[in-house]
Copies of this chain bind each other. A is one copy, B any other.
């Protein structure tokens, strides 16, 4: 019910009851708890301008944005980025901090994060007591529920109790998760997935990531470790992947895969050290200009992406498929050509093609996702125990 009100904006109790198929009494009882906990409030509900108004104006319910603020921190190679948002997801402050390329001590990351939190709270005119939670996202194998990192390229050790470490040092409940789940949470809380109960988000950047939302909840797999689209096999004995296996989707699509093929297509020497965005830009230009080798690289990446998306559609049958990402732009793959390719590799069970949406976020996507993680956790605590004080 809370998720529905949050997504719908100001909405009347009667409408909530109708939308969710519950009694108006149930809505009143449950929302009373949420209003008392300070996370919902009453508003004048919007009317259509042409309505003939009689009697009392309808009263709508909406989320109180100012009740809590949360911070999201993304740890990546070379940089930590952070964002401070209120309960409605409005951005209050941001922060960036350089860090080691990889293999850094967890304690050093947490110290850096503490400084980022102080800077963002100061920028927003808030203090530590206003902070309802922190979410930290990082690449690798992360057990969200246990708060443990089995392995991450940004940490110098395995099996790190990062959530406990951060909670103790930061003095506020801290949750951790991996990159792929962050992007789905970002879409669920702030993005295109707000109105959709069941959707999948696929990102193509340094790796290929997936996040799946089922019934308005992030699906992390039965063991809670998240899903691995990038290492599903699309070609037995195929291209070598950085995971050590062969034929992984990621080995054809991620930025290191493009970097492997692009120099040959563009006739670049071994010393032409171009960054991936530049390589992709060059590839697009050359393909448009008729360079057949460049066209082949693009066409191949598109076909493999379509194959991976088809697997997602075949196995989850989502209501919406979102291509999202902070850095890689999808226009070089040509959305229409991608949709056409997708139709060739998906089995049509009679309901027509799954809607495909491209959503480019810019750099703060991952930090937004980490903030969504903190909001998700905070909401759960508040909604399931609305009469208790929330730390």
**Which residue from chain B places its CB closest to the CB of A232 in the assembled complex?**
B311
Contact at A141–B350, with CB atoms within 8 Å? yes
Collect the chain B residues with CB atoms within 8 Å of residue A235's CB: 234-236
Other-chain contact of A234, B220, B221, B225, B236 (Cβ < 8 Å): B236
CA–CA, A303 and B223, complex, Å: 25
Contact at A245–B344, with CB atoms within 8 Å? yes
Other-chain contact of A231, B159, B199, B347 (Cβ < 8 Å): B347
Other-chain contact of A314, B198, B228, B310 (Cβ < 8 Å): B228
Given the known A-B contacts A141-B349, A151-B350, A350-B150, are A236 and B304 also in contact in the complex, defined by CB atoms under 8 Å?
A: yes
Contact at B351–A225, with CB atoms within 8 Å? yes
CB distance from A294 to the nearest CB of B (A): 19
CA–CA, A317 and B349, complex, Å: 25
Given the known A-B contacts A232-B311, A233-B310, A314-B232, are A349 and B197 also in contact in the complex, defined by CB atoms under 8 Å?
A: no
CA–CA, A288 and B298, complex, Å: 45
Contact with B along A321-350 (1 / 0, CB 8 A): 000000000000000000000001101011
Residue picked from A220, A222, A229, most chain B C-beta under 10 Å: A222
In this assembly, does A258 line the interface, its C-beta being within 8 Å of a C-beta of chain B? no
CA–CA, A227 and B346, complex, Å: 12
In this assembly, does A8 line the interface, its C-beta being within 8 Å of a C-beta of chain B? no
Collect the chain B residues with CB atoms within 8 Å of residue A311's CB: 232-233, 311, 315
Task: Tell me the A344-382 residues at the B interface (CB within 8 Å).
Answer: 344-345, 347, 349-351
CA–CA, A207 and B193, complex, Å: 34
In this assembly, does A214 line the interface, its C-beta being within 8 Å of a C-beta of chain B? yes
In this assembly, does A53 line the interface, its C-beta being within 8 Å of a C-beta of chain B? no
Contact at B234–A150, with CB atoms within 8 Å? no
Contact at A222–B314, with CB atoms within 8 Å? no
In this assembly, does A243 line the interface, its C-beta being within 8 Å of a C-beta of chain B? yes
Contact with B along A298-325 (1 / 0, CB 8 A): 0000011001001110111111000000
Contact at B222–A319, with CB atoms within 8 Å? yes
Contact with B along A94-127 (1 / 0, CB 8 A): 0000000000000000000000000000000000
Contact with B along A273-314 (1 / 0, CB 8 A): 000000000000000000000000000000110010011101
Other-chain contact of A315, B232, B350, B351 (Cβ < 8 Å): B232
Other-chain contact of A198, B210, B222, B312 (Cβ < 8 Å): B222
**Which residue from chain B places its CB closest to the CB of A318 in the assembled complex?**
B222
CB distance from A308 to the nearest CB of B (A): 9
Contact at A317–B245, with CB atoms within 8 Å? no
Residue picked from A210, A231, A318, A347, most chain B C-beta under 10 Å: A347
Contact at B229–A316, with CB atoms within 8 Å? no
Collect the chain B residues with CB atoms within 8 Å of residue A199's CB: 222
Contact at B231–A234, with CB atoms within 8 Å? no
Some 7 contacts from A to B, beta carbons below 8 A apart, are: A198-B222, A223-B351, A226-B349, A228-B349, A232-B311, A234-B234, A245-B347
Known: A151-B350, A214-B222, A232-B315. 6 other contacts (CB 8 A): A143-B350, A210-B315, A226-B317, A227-B315, A234-B234, A243-B347
Q: Which 9 A-B pairs have the closest CB atoms?
A: A221-B317, A198-B222, A150-B350, A228-B314, A141-B349, A231-B347, A232-B311, A225-B349, A233-B307
